[in-house]
Chain A
């Protein structure tokens, strides 16, 4: 093999390796995107906390309005409604809110709720200790359930955010097509 052929082989090998690495990079964008959204709060991804861990006393002279919104994906014959449209909260204090969900179909269905907070910046400061969105929910035909979310708005919420919206969308859980 001539030196020229050897150097062609070397270039080719390197380029094939780069190709495979770039294929991997496409996949690496998935966790990178999630991490990026989690850190920056882009995309409205909410935070999960354990209650009582380093809890500070609430700021009494600040009130923030939390609005509740609900959606159901078109594939899922369910109805979802928050029990109240909105509440006023003091940052640093935990509150409960409930959503009422009904299975309108005549078969049992498993659903999964996906939360989102708007404005995006507020999602960094919206912390849930309990939520029906943490696990899949099974509803028997015609069953109605009240579902709980326990949350706190962090005291460090930027002062220009006076109101924020918590929105849930229920989807049919993956891999259950009944």
Chain B
């Protein structure tokens, strides 16, 4: 057994602040990740509120354009790297050892480090907003030459990306090392819960794509300060090259955000349909195919740079191809619900909303993937609507579902079901009021990342802003529900949900500090999906 797990037997876990700072316990670190990502969700959300306030009416009302653009940029960076990714890693930390019958993560000390460098990374990023020349305002994609015009904040932006990359890569290595080496006897790869599968595949995506981003931003850094010309035409470089390298990372990143969500949904829908997941093996293969294909479609983000027709055709067809495994997943979820004894607790509601709304986001993605029409949609609000459907009503809804689903296991209490349902309906209605009109704005030609707009776009923007404020406010209810549940309520059983399958429901609620110190004896029933 690992030396670290052994240590814990001999001395008591430190209490107070030290418990959290020095923790090597997967549950503590999972909790830290989840709380951190919730904080980031609110900071990034506050920035979104500033954006929507500015866009409430045409003209410039509250902030100057430079600050508006830095809000757009930092909102994206915080939501992607600070909210969605750490929330996914937090869930992985909490649940993967419980799901595969392992006592802890394989590399507990690295686990501690990969979490604790995150707050420093984001402190750096947020500090740039107060610097000479303002925060990064050229978009989260950091395209040169625009990003090179950034003032003092530039090196801080680059080092932030490095730190976040290092953190995520360490997290990914830990997850793979855990799943490959720490499974309880009898837990073969094809018996693993789908959440574990999607996370393993996500971890491989992280390891393959994040170092490429680190390389790209390092090139930006040397271009600016050390006289290299990777992206400078004057020195024989090419700014378009940056876009290729960036999106070689950027497209797999999309699936880094989405695949864990697929895993969550594949766990929750069977529970509340009281049926095994339809097509388990096809789900695993579909996830793997999505991951592999994601490395061959990057240029669909840059159809308008002036690519040759053959390149555009290749990337268009490759993009269309991804809808096949994604379709397999959506149909499997529907088939799982088909004729199931369904009940509609909050996690299930969020999951069903995920299936519907993520699919809408997928369809608008298909529209964007068609090269000729992309020339019209490119850099408009249609793109904004598309990726918020897949990331907010997709990834974030899945994360919300996961929190409601496993909250009884984490706290030992049931959350307030009535409030949970209110939170769900407020979120779902508000998110659609917020993002659905943006499709129309984009089709009518409203560009992204500009604080002012033509008055013809006024009505839809006002509706969208109202939805935005409603969504933002209703998330406060979520915080209240989580805190209320942590403080008390109806006691949760070990198996908190009637139809739940999996090893995590065999340990008491709340899950004790140490679990599965001796590997569990797996029965056939336990391995059912």
Contact = CB atoms under 8 A, between A and B. Distances in A.
A174 B235 contact: yes
B229 interface: yes
Contact of B3 (A5, A16, A40): A5
Interface of A is mostly: helix
A100 interface: no
B240 interface: yes
Interface string B196-209: 00000000000111
A173 B1 CA distance: 61
Contacts of B216: 26
Interface string A156-174: 0000000000000101111
B121 to A, nearest CB: 18
A174 B241 contact: no
Nearest to B307: A42
Given A26-B216, A33-B238, A174-B232, A8 B177 contact: yes
Given A11-B177, A19-B207, A29-B241, A169 B1 contact: no
B177 A174 contact: no
Interface in A14-47: 15-16, 18-20, 22-27, 29-30, 33, 37, 40, 42-43
A114 interface: yes
Interface residues of B, number: 42
Contacts of B173: 12, 15-16, 19
Contacts of A12: 106-107, 173, 177
Given A18-B208, A23-B212, A114-B233, A8 B106 contact: yes
A21 to B, nearest CB: 8
Interface string A95-118: 000000000000000001010000
Contacts of B169: 19
A25 B248 CA distance: 11
Nearest to A1: B3
A114 B308 contact: no
Interface of B is mostly: helix
B61 interface: no
Interface in B199-254: 207-216, 219, 227, 229-230, 232-236, 238, 240-241, 244-245, 248
A138 to B, nearest CB: 15
Report which residue of A12, A18, A22, A26 has the largest number of chain B beta carbons within 10 angstroms of its beta carbon: A26
Nearest to B178: A8
Contacts of A50: none
Contacts of A30: 219, 230, 241
Nearest to B214: A23
A62 to B, nearest CB: 24
A2 interface: yes
Given A12-B173, A43-B240, A22 B234 contact: no
A23 B241 CA distance: 16
Contacts of B177: 8, 11-12, 15
Contacts of B238: 33, 37, 43
A41 to B, nearest CB: 9
Contacts of B215: 23-27
B180 interface: yes
A4 B244 contact: no
A169 B106 CA distance: 55
A26 B2 CA distance: 35
B181 interface: yes
B176 interface: yes
Given A8-B106, A19-B169, A171-B233, 6 more contacts: A12-B173, A19-B173, A27-B215, A30-B241, A33-B241, A174-B235
8 contacts: A7-B181, A11-B181, A15-B177, A25-B215, A26-B211, A29-B245, A33-B238, A174-B234
By Cβ-Cβ distance, the 7 closest A-B pairs, closest first, are A26-B215, A171-B234, A22-B211, A23-B211, A26-B212, A174-B235, A15-B173
